[in-house]
Amino acid sequence: MSLWIIPTALAVALNLYLNGYVLMRRPLRPLAPALYAALITALLWTVGDLISQVVTAPAANWAGLIVLYTGVIFIPAAWWVLALRYSDAHELGLRFTRRWWVYVPVGISSALWLVFLTNPWHGQFLTPHPSEASSYHFFWWLHAVEGYSVNVATASVYGFLSYRAGRGVVRRRLLILLFATLATASASAVHVLAPVELPFDPTSIGIAVTSLLVIYGIYGSRLFALGPVALTEVLRQQPVGIMVVGPTGDLLYANEPAIGMLGARVPPVDARPFERLAQVLHPLDASQSELDDRALQKALTAGEQPADGHLFRFGESGSGWLRIRVVPILSGRGALRAWSLSLEDQTALYAAAEAMRAGEASLLRAQKLESLGVMAGGIAHDFNNLLQGVLGNTDLALESAEPGSTQQELLREIEVCALRASELVHQLLLYAGSVQTEKRETEVSELVNGARDLASRSFSEEIKLEIQLDPALPTVIVDPPQLRQAIVSVLLNAAEAMRAESGTIRVSAQVETLGLEQVSELEIEGELLAGRYLRIDVSDQGVGMDEETRERIFEPFYSTKFPGRGLGLAAVAGILRSHAGGVVVRSTPGIGSCVSLYLPASGGIEAGHA
């Protein structure tokens, strides 16, 4: 075996690498067919040359020659078409690239290939000699003239385009292609036109040099605009799930995010993706317990798809949101080849949207209550001034009225009504936070025990009141009468929620340190700062409240019993706001409610706002 087989084997290895690399990193669409043809013909040339050098049996040698001359005959036409498609892909300005006559070399090469295949019957192409160089005949020389002419035309196109391109990366790419074309053509010409018979065919060396130049262009100048990474690697690294499903519903490809959404580490070869999707997806309509895989496939592969794709709930509890977009992959003739499914987990997006909606609703509610507070404060001040006049004149009229007279009784009723109105004005002022306070350092036990003494008189005998207070709790700086009134209101609401049935109202207190994040998470009535708070919890075993009721409990005069009953928790919230605190209400229908009063512990508030 001759040492000249080494260049041929090197050419085969380089062409195998180049063909695999280009196949994995898809070139631009106008380039793809011509580039694949050029690389495959070069590979056939080198593989056929290797076979013809290794084997000596006539049948095997002829098989090697078929592979060899398939590459030899078609490589000039393939590189010619590649030059034209390269000009189209990069818009280099050749106007004849789509004319019919540019494909004449392809037709001639096809005819010569048929002549070669029938050579055993007519012998007009060549006469093979397994142990030495073949004898060439008329059609072989016709092929040689045609091939070298096409190679010269191809080199001329690259030379002309590089001259017109000027300096830059485009010219550098065109020069690489020019030298790559000349390397193979020159080596073949040396073998054919040498005045003496050479001991080996240098064409394989030329193809190896061409392959090296193309590889250099790909890595150094992004020749053919190939991607720096394989397409499958790009798909694998995508944050969204990507699935490719065949026309019969078979899974052709799934990247790692899609596999995770399907709930499997590695999808089986025979996986039915629509069946798997039907198992992990949930319909938006809660009345439907599960999805039918056939109906799901029909919806996802329908001819017209929604612009925003299909939205489903997914996960074990259906708490997640998954959007699926489907794109059909068609052949050049419009036949369906596959479906591409994009699976995008939008759970975080919908959670953020829900939080935004809740924040907007909370802001609107706060603005409404603030407006009510301003209005209530203004009305209360004006009405209080009128009441002072009514009470003052009533006192003067009582002094002049006859004792026991009808006039005196009527004046007494006026005085009682005015005093009740004054109490209502006081509650309005409390809600608006406009009552002047006399704050002092106070023990929590003093506030809770004082409220218990006032409220327990209104409890039924079936209701028990349990108080659990740690004696080591810090003090709070508050107006004691106002805070006692707030706790009394909460206790009375708890008792009324139990509707005179047996049960227990529990009062406890603890210290809680809130950061900015914890403050923002609380559904609190009031604005808290980050810091240390004393939390007083009043829990009952009453009927509880639904979400709609809980959202309205801080509205003035709102009551679940009958309209216009009083200020209730609205006044409690006003008192807590005036003490830089807040109120949180947690409730479950049929189980009970818990009202938490937050008061700043002495020396425990930071300077930042939540």
Tens digits of residue pLDDT in 405-414: 888 788 888 8
pLDDT class of 179 with cuts at 50, 70, 90? very high
Predicted confidence (pLDDT) per residue in 544-568, tens digit: 888 878 877 877 666 665 443 445 6
Write out the two tokens for 88.
Answer: 């189209």
**Predicted local distance difference test score (pLDDT) of residue 606:** 46
**Predicted pLDDT of residue 559:** 65
CB contact at 8 A, 431 and 574? yes
Encoding tokens for residue 380? Answer: 């209360």
> Averaged over 376-381, what is the pLDDT?
67
**Residue 42's pLDDT band (boundaries 50, 70, 90)?**
very high
Q: Among 140-149, 186-195, 221-230, 327-336, which is the least confidently predicted range?
A: 221-230
Confidence of residue 373 (pLDDT cuts 50, 70, 90): low
Residues with Cβ within 8 Å of residue 271, at least 6 apart in sequence: 250, 251, 264
Provide, rounded to the nearest whole percent, the portion of the chain with pLDDT above 70.
84
The DSSP code sequence of 296-350 is HHHHHT-SS--TT-EEEEESSSS-EEEEEEEEEEE-TTS-EEEEEEEEEE-HHHH
pLDDT in tens, 462-518: 888 899 988 888 889 988 888 888 888 888 888 888 875 778 899 999 999 888 878
Residue 566: predicted pLDDT: 45
- Please, which pLDDT band fits residue 608 given cuts at 50, 70 and 90? very low
Residue 538 predicted with pLDDT over 60: yes
> Are the CB atoms for 35 and 224 separated by under 8 Å?
yes
Whether residue 103 has pLDDT greater than 90: yes
Has residue 268 got a pLDDT over 60?
no
User: pLDDT category, 427, cuts 50, 70, 90?
Assistant: low
CA 124 to chain CA centroid, nearest Å? 67
Residue the block writes with tokens 């300096």: 167
Distance CA(199)–CA(209), nearest Å, equals 20
Residue 227 has pLDDT above 60, yes or no: no
Closest CA to 280 of 238, 244, 311, 317: 317
Whether 310 has a pLDDT exceeding 70, the answer reads yes
Summarize the confidence of residues 161-185 as an average pLDDT. 89
Residue 269 predicted with pLDDT over 50: no
Give the pLDDT band (50/70/90) at residue 609.
very low
Q: Are strands 251-254 and 241-245 parallel, antiparallel or unpaired?
A: antiparallel
Across 80-84, 325-329, 429-433, the highest mean pLDDT is recorded for 80-84
Question: Which of the pair, 501 or 140, is modelled with greater confidence?
Answer: 140
| Whether the Cβ atoms of residue 186 and residue 206 lie closer than 8 Å to each other | yes
Of residues 540 and 57, more confidence is placed in 540
Q: Residue 561 has what pLDDT?
A: 58
Say what the pLDDT of residue 291 is: 78
pLDDT band at 289 (very low <50, low <70, confident <90, very high): low
- Mean pLDDT calculated for residue range 211-236: 78
Is pLDDT at 51 greater than 50 in this prediction? yes
Contact 156, 148 (CB under 8 A): no
Spatial contact of 602 and 476, defined as CB atoms under 8 Å apart: yes
The mean pLDDT of 389-407, rounded to a whole number, is 81
Nearest to 253 by CA among 264, 240, 242: 242
Give tens-digit pLDDT for 311-326. Answer: 888 876 677 888 899 8
What's the confidence (pLDDT) of residue 155?
A: 94
